[in-house]
Amino acid sequence: MNTRITRRALGAAALLSATPRLLHAQAYPSRPVTMLVGFAPGGGTDIIARFLQPALAEEFGQPVAIENRPGASGTLAASAMTRARPDGYTMLMTTISASAVVPPLMTPPPFDIIRDQTAVALAGTVPLVAVVPRNAPYDTLRGLIDYAKANPGKLNFASSGAATSQHLASELLCIRAGISMTHVPYRGTGQAVNDLIAGRVDLNIDTLPTNLPHIRAGSLKALAITMPERVEWLPDVPTVAELGFPGFDSSVWYMVMAPANTPAEITARWSAAVNKVLGDQGLRTRIREAGFLPGGGTQDDAAALLRRDAQRYAELIRNASIRLD
């Protein structure tokens, strides 16, 4: 009898201790939520965040405000998120570069990519596309490579920041093709696109959603896709791999992150909300029309993707001797 009483007492105590957390999760969110974005408006991270914003606000019953904090290859916003109170009211729409690739290269690292952030849900994935100004003297990737070899050091390429996926894709192309181009980093994608259209930079390997409207408008020429297979949006544009560089594969994912130690009930709420809104066929269609592959999946899936790509790109950076300036 005493044992039963003890067990009941322990069970009651556990329930009481859990009650505040459960009530907190049930009440969440009780006020507006801020989603940080580490790049300027117009880039892929900003685009996917704004696709999800109204649907998430409706799901939560509270406003979800997008706050752009560009700089340091997206790590300014990521760092701000890791320092925020872990209560679910400061979230981050991040990308592979800001949360998996760049931080370990910084001295000192602004945060630990595994310990200081919590992967919540994959929002989407996009291929990268190599684009050049419409008046460029080449219409194919082979033409660009031949021009670069005939004019060593003359060409440059843009990126949305040092060691971002865009930067790494262009560096990888230079290594594989045996050419040299000058890296021109920007604080975000928007200005890089504007300068590319104006002819102030020669090449940008950037996200398809960012460049697709300009490709369709004829202000940019698409030379190649960086994923292993051609994509539905540009079926006539070949992949880098099929143009003589087998195994070339580079894409960008976007992920919702929370600060470390955010209550599991809240991150689970976010994961469920992201999956629910991404399950809406109308939203999925709009996302695909913009050049994104809709995301989804469990928190464990997101965490595994973070770890796997952090390891993969760390190896690429070592092999290519890439450093932050």
Q: How far is CA 233 from CA 51, 126, 141, 217, 257, in A?
A: 18, 11, 18, 14, 28
What rounded mean pLDDT belongs to the chain? 90
Confidence of residue 23 (pLDDT cuts 50, 70, 90): very low
Q: Where are the alpha helices (DSSP H) in 84-206?
A: 96, 141-150, 165-177, 189-197
pLDDT in tens, 133-166: 999 999 999 999 999 999 998 999 999 877 888 8
Confidence of residue 187 (pLDDT cuts 50, 70, 90): confident
In the chain, what are the domain boundaries? 33-125+251-320, 127-243
With H, G, I as helix, E, B as strand and everything else as coil, classify residue 225. strand
Type of residue found at 259: P
Confidence of residue 19 (pLDDT cuts 50, 70, 90): very low
pLDDT in tens, 303-323: 999 999 999 888 878 877 777
Determine if residue 244 is left, alpha or beta; phi over 0 gives left, psi from -120 to 50 gives alpha, anything else beta.
left
Q: How far is CA 324 from CA 102, 199, 309, in A?
A: 8, 26, 19
Confidence (pLDDT) at 18:
44
Instruction: Please state, as a whole number, how many other Cβ atoms lie within 10 Å of the Cβ of residue 175.
Output: 13
74-76-77-83 Cα dihedral, nearest 10 degrees:
140
Instruction: Please state, as a whole number, how many other Cβ atoms lie within 10 Å of the Cβ of residue 92.
Output: 32
Confidence of residue 246 (pLDDT cuts 50, 70, 90): very high
User: Is residue 25 over pLDDT 70?
Assistant: no
pLDDT in tens, 266-303: 999 999 999 999 999 999 999 998 889 999 999 999 99
Contact (Cβ atoms closer than 8 angstroms) between residue 226 and residue 128: yes
What is the end-to-end Cα distance of the chain in Å, rounded? 70
Contact (Cβ atoms closer than 8 angstroms) between residue 193 and residue 204: yes
pLDDT in tens, 160-185: 877 888 889 999 999 999 999 999 99
The CATH code of the domain at 33-125+251-320 is 3.40.190.150
Q: Taking the CA atoms of the chain, what radius of gyration do you get in angstroms? A: 22
76-79-83-88 Cα dihedral, nearest 10 degrees:
90
Architecture field, domain 127-243: 3-Layer(aba) Sandwich (3.40)
pLDDT in tens, 59-110: 999 999 999 999 888 999 999 999 999 999 999 999 998 999 999 999 999 9
H or E stretch at 205 = strand 203-207
Q: Do domains 33-125+251-320 and 127-243 have the same CATH topology?
A: yes
